[in-house]
Structure 1
Amino acid sequence: MNEVSTLEGWREYVDASYERPLPVGRDELAAMTFGDRAIYNVARARYSQAGAFVKTPQYRAFQRATRERIYLNQSRRVGKLGLILSGEPGQGKTTTLLEVGKEHELRRRHTNHPVAADGNIPVIYVAVPAQCTAKALLQEFARFFALPTLTRMTYGALLDMVANAMRRCSTELVLIDDVHHLDLRYRQNVEASDMLKQLSERCGGTFVYAGIAVEATGLLSGTREGQIRKRFELHTAGPFKISSKQGQSDWGDLLLAVEDSLCLLQQRPGAILAAAKALHRLTNGEIGLLKDLLQLAAYRAIEDGSEELDLAEFEHEVERRQANKQSARL
């Protein structure tokens, strides 16, 4: 499996398709050979972990905003619009970024759009390395395109090479992850941030940033505040709240979608809602923690043959945590 921050890895990610295994009865599962049963269980796990993407209201809003900006930027030479996705760890920022890019590229392919023609690269994904300089970040772009670089290449030569590649490949969407590494309290990061602006002006792509607490990095304050805030719309990936009816409904929809993705043979659809409050307390409404918790519980249900979530265990875990907190206070 190649890194998604390379063209080979990105294409591998976009092309990957995980079909949902057909449900079977308990008797049919028991009648399978050890090998066939193992293959079936692996297929269920792969579908749950990589094939079943849950489109939350936050995701749909971000996807719509991305489409709008790609459309508006098509005829702009300067002042291109962009997006920033900010939030704490575990809120699905990277997953959202990748899925938005994947869906865009697949949509271009399925409609035979010119940017998806052979030799073109409609979407690129780059992760900002820690303590990066402008040249180091440009080299990450070059690495995605598999462009040959030399240590003695100047900043200007690297910028020209990357910008030319993006124009030749008709790149429409530029996904830049881990942008919190561009903390503008450090001069080298200021230069890297300025480089992204230069690159944006030289190519036709829509730039989309994602990172942890981007508001605290300086990208949205100081001398750059007006420039960035006017062109980049900020979206915040946060935990689900259940203090309102709409929040409870959104949380319930998420639970139902994840429950369905687990492919447990004896899980009654909708049964998970009985543990909605317990699951929220255990995960604080974070989608990453929720998926990890439920996928682990599903694995155990497959291993012990019960083929359904132990909902009572979630309630017991809440009680255990409360008891531990009380003991710690004494």
Structure 2
Amino acid sequence: MTEISTKEGWREHVNTVYERPVPVTARELRAMSFGERALYNQGRAQFSQAGAFVRTPHFQAFQAAVRDRVMLNAYRRVGKLGLILSGEPGQGKTTSLVEVGKAHERRRRETQHPAAGRGKIPVVYVAVPAQCSAKALMHEFARFLGLPVLNRMTYGDLLDMVANALRRCSTELVLIDDVHHLDLKYRQNIEASDMLKQLSERCGGTFVYAGIAVESTGLLDGERGGQIGKRFEVHVAVPFPLSNTVEKARWGDLLLALENSLCLAEQTAGSILPAAATLHALTGGEIGLLKDLLQFAALRAIEDGTEKLDLSSFERDLGRRQELAKGLGTIPRRTRARTNAA
């Protein structure tokens, strides 16, 4: 599997579709041969991990905002509009960013849009490396596009080459992940941030940033940040709250969608809901932690042949965690989760 930060890897990711395995009963599963059962288990693991995507209300709002800006920027020469997806780790930022790009490219292909024609690249995905200079970031764009980079090339040469390539390839969406690495306390990061603005003005694509607590990196501060703040709408990914009826309903919808994605033969739809409060206490409403917790539980259910989630195990996990917190004092939720998983 090729990394998605190259056009070949991105194309492979967009082309790959993991279908949900045909549902079987526990009896039918037990009647399978060892090899058949192994293939079936592999298929449902693939679907659960990579094929199923939960379209939360926050994701739907983010996707709609991206679509609006792609449409508006197609007619703008200057002052391109963009988006920033910010939040703490575990909130599904990268997953949402990649899913928006994948859905956009597949939609362009299905409608036979010129941007998805032969030789075109409608979506570009670049992850910002740590301690990134403007020239290093240009190298990441060149690597995705498959452009040759010569040692004698200056920053200006690289900018021209990448901007021209993005225009020729009719790129509509430029996804910049790990943008928190552009901490503007460092001069080289300021230059990289300025480069992104220059590149945005020189190509037709809509730029979408994603990163951890982007608001604290300085990207939106000062004169430079003022321009970004006026043109880029910030969407903040936060844990699911659980303080009123509407929020509890949304948390329940998320649990039902994830329960369905696990493809367990004996799991009755909706039987996860009695554990809603416990699962929220264990994960703090973080979708990343919730997915990991449920997928490990599903793996245990497959291995022991029960084919359904053991809700009592979540209660036991929460009890052990509370006892640990009493003995050691309050520790970060993510540390507690890793300790428990180990």
Shorter chain as normaliser: what TM range? over 0.9
> Identity, % of aligned pairs?
70
Q: Which residue of 1 aligns with 2:156?
A: 156
Alpha-carbon separation, structure 1, partners of 2:50 and 2:160? 37
- SS of the equivalent of 1:138 reads helix
Aligned to 2:335: none
Partner of residue 36, structure 1: 36
Deviations 1:257-307 (CA, angstroms, capped at 9, x unpaired): 000000000001001010000000100100000000000000000000000
Give the alignment's TM-score, normalised by structure 1: 0.99
* 1:69 aligned partner: 69
Report the equivalent of 2:91: 91
1:122-201 maps to which residues of 2 (within 5 A)? 122-201=122-201
Q: TM-score, normalised by structure 2?
A: 0.95
Residue 41 of structure 1 aligns with an amino acid whose one-letter code is N
Q: Distance in 1 between matches of 2:115 and 2:108?
A: 7
Give, in whole Å, the separation in 2 of the partners of 1:225 and 1:30: 60
Shift, 1:31, TM fit: 1.4
**CA-CA distance at 1:327 after TM superposition:** 2.5
Return the letter of the residue paired with 1:275: A
Match of 1:60 in 2: 60
SS in 2 for 1:270: coil
Quick check: 1:211 aligned with 2:208?
no
Distance in 2, Cα, partners of 1:287 & 1:324: 23
The residue number in structure 2 matching 1:303 is: 303
Task: Provide the C-alpha distance between the structure 2 equivalents of 1:327 and 1:89, rounded to a whole number of angstroms.
Answer: 26
Is 1:294–2:279 an aligned residue pair?
Answer: no
Partner Cα distance (1:328, 1:90) in 2? 24
C-alpha distance in structure 1 between counterparts of 2:244 and 2:234, whole Å: 24
Deviation at 1:316, TM superposition (A): 1.2
**1:299-326 alpha-carbon deviations (Å, 9 max, x no partner):** 0000000000000110111111112222
Counterpart of 1:325 in structure 2: which amino acid?
Answer: A
Distance 2:78 2:33 in 1: 62
Question: How big is each residue's C-alpha offset from its partner over 1:227-267, in whole Å with a ceiling of 9 and x where there is no partner?
Answer: 01110000001100001211111111000000000000000
| Paired letter, 2:77 | R
Give the 3-state SS of the residue equivalent to 1:229 in structure 2: helix
Residue 240 of structure 1 aligns with which residue?
240
RMSD: 0.7
Supply the AA of the counterpart residue of 1:139.
H
For 2:28 and 2:91, locate their aligned partners in 1 and report how far apart those are by CA, in whole Å: 38
Cα distance in 2 between the residues matched to 1:328 and 1:2:
43
Corresponding residue pairs, total: 329
User: Is 1:19 matched up with 2:19?
Assistant: yes
- Hey, what does 1:325 align to over in structure 2? 325
CA distance in 2, matches of 1:325, 1:186: 38
Select between 225-234 and 122-131 the one with higher mean Cα deviation: 225-234
Q: Which residue of 2 aligns with 1:109?
A: 109
Structure 1 unaligned regions, length at least 5: none
Structure 1 segments of 4+ aligned residues over 6 angstroms from their partners:
none
